[in-house]
């Protein structure tokens, strides 16, 4: 379970990082793939949308900062959860090994 949580954190952070690159490079949102990717990213970073509100002309930088914070938060939170899960599971696994002959 801990491995799955770590992988999920890395996958989400990578997914958002690709979204940042698409926005920063001004990818064509008329493309179905780009539109779907950015829609998924916008869903994931929803709570982090307006952390920083920069002046006009710097929308790409604003998106990169806000989405970057979201990627880091997902990565940190899921890594911490993975560690907690692995610590909780280890003692129970040790006990079961001690009981078996």
pLDDT at 21: 94
91 or 39, greater pLDDT = 39
Task: Report domain extents, the chain.
Answer: 2-99
SS3 label, residue 45: coil
pLDDT at 50: 78
Number of Cβ within 10 Å of residue 64's Cβ equals 18
The predicted-structure confidence for 18-71, as pLDDT tens digits, reads as follows 999 999 998 898 999 999 999 999 999 988 887 877 777 678 888 888 999 999
Q: Contact, 37 vs 19, CB < 8 A?
A: yes
**Which residues neighbour 71 within 8 Å (Cβ) at sequence distance 6 or greater?**
12, 13, 16, 17, 20
Range with the poorest average pLDDT among 33-37, 78-82, 91-95 = 91-95
DSSP conformation class of 48: G
Q: How many residues does the chain have?
A: 101
- Banded model confidence at residue 98, pLDDT cuts 50, 70, 90: low
């Amino acid at each position: 379970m801990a491995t799955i949580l770590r992988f999920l954190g890395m996958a989400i952070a990578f997914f958002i990082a690709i979204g940042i690159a698409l926005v920063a490079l001004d990818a064509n949102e008329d493309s179905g793939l780009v539109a779907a990717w950015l829609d998924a990213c916008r869903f994931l970073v929803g709570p982090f949308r307006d952390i920083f509100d920069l002046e006009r002309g710097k929308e790409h930088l604003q998106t990169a900062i806000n989405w970057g914070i979201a990627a880091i938060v997902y990565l940190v939170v899921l890594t911490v959860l993975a560690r907690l899960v692995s610590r909780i599971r280890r003692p129970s696994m040790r006990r079961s090994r001690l009981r078996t002959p």
